[in-house]
Amino acid sequence: MSSDNDPSPTSYQEILGLEIEEGLSQLQRSNVGLALSGLSAGLDIGFGPFLMAVVITMSSGAFSDPLTGLLVANAYAVGFIFVVLGRSELFTEHTSLAVVPVLNGQASVSKLARLWGVIYVSNLVGGALFSLLAVQVGPELTTVEMSAFGEIAHGLVKYSWSTTVLAAVLAGWLMGLMTWLVAAGQNTISQAFFVWLVAVVIGLAHLPHSIAGSVEVMLGMFARQGITVLDFAHFLLWSTVGNVIGGSVFVGLLKYGHGIRGGTSPEDIDVDVDEGTAEQESG
């Protein structure tokens, strides 16, 4: 039996309002603020791929392939937990999150493009800086073998452009779902669980995430494991295209459409960015 003090489940309309509120808040931030937050996210998410290489190095020959894969996927999730709970800005979150205010008529496409551009570039810069540091420190500490970086990177760049795009659609879709699940979370523990769940699914399925995956590829490239700049560009281009489609269409557009078709009109969603509340106005 549930207690009267138990929090009630977050309604679909409340989640939609929270998504619009958060999206508007980020769309109104300055370029400098977005860039610093994006840089932090690019740096922080690098711990996931780095720990993947640590696990591969330490478990070499010690565990079965399925167990190693499960451990690696959990290591991959660490970077996402750092980023999302640390409230720094990750490009793939905003392929759905920042789209919803545009669909609701509260922001322009140009503002969306500005946010995407600033966060995307700063995420990649942060990821590159982390990768350069990791390939210097890891082998010196004997916790990572260079070959582990190469193994991870080659696992992402070996696919055709069409396979990369389609798989990246699934990754973008999952990242968009993650923003909705985090918004529905009643507390930090539930939010952390949702982030872990989505990230582990992406890791186990080897789905290409344009930012975390770029760190994986750059680690292999900087470690001189046979990864070329063309390999990196191929992965980055097609994973980005797929992530944008997955987040914007399969989450942003469809879930917003679901809310509107479910009886909520854009005028009914009152978002107060300054106060941090999103309320449904009665008809």
pLDDT higher than 70, residue 274? no
Highest mean pLDDT among 12-16, 93-97, 228-232, 268-272: 228-232
pLDDT higher than 70, residue 3? no
Residue 63 — very low, low, confident or very high, per pLDDT cuts 50/70/90? confident
DSSP 11: P
- For residues 249 and 4, which has the higher predicted lDDT (pLDDT)? 249
CATH number, domain with residue 241: 1.20.1080.10
pLDDT of residue 273: 53
d(CA 191, CA 252): 19
Summarised one tens digit per residue, pLDDT across range 64-90 is 889 999 999 999 999 999 999 999 999
d(CA 58, CA 44): 22
pLDDT of residue 68: 93
pTM of the model: 0.88
The mean predicted confidence, pLDDT, of the chain is 89
Residue 93 domain boundaries:
12-263
pLDDT of residue 259: 73
pLDDT of residue 260: 76
185 within domain boundaries: yes
Cβ density class 98-124: b for 16+ within 10 Å, e for less: bbbbbbbebbeeebbeebbebbbbbbb
Average of per-residue pLDDT across 2-9: 53
pLDDT of residue 278: 37
Summarised one tens digit per residue, pLDDT across range 107-156 is 999 999 999 999 999 999 999 999 999 999 998 999 999 999 999 999 99
Any idea which residue has 């470690």 for tokens? 223
Overall domain count for the chain: 1
77 within domain boundaries: yes
274 within domain boundaries: no
282 within domain boundaries: no
pLDDT of residue 258: 78
* Residue 86 burial (C-beta neighbours within 10 Å; 0-12, 13-18, 19+): exposed
Summarised one tens digit per residue, pLDDT across range 218-257 is 999 999 999 999 999 999 999 999 999 999 998 989 988 8
- For residues 6 and 220, which has the higher predicted lDDT (pLDDT)? 220
pLDDT higher than 90, residue 11? no
Rounded to the nearest 5 percent, the helix, strand and coil shares of the chain are 70, 5, 25
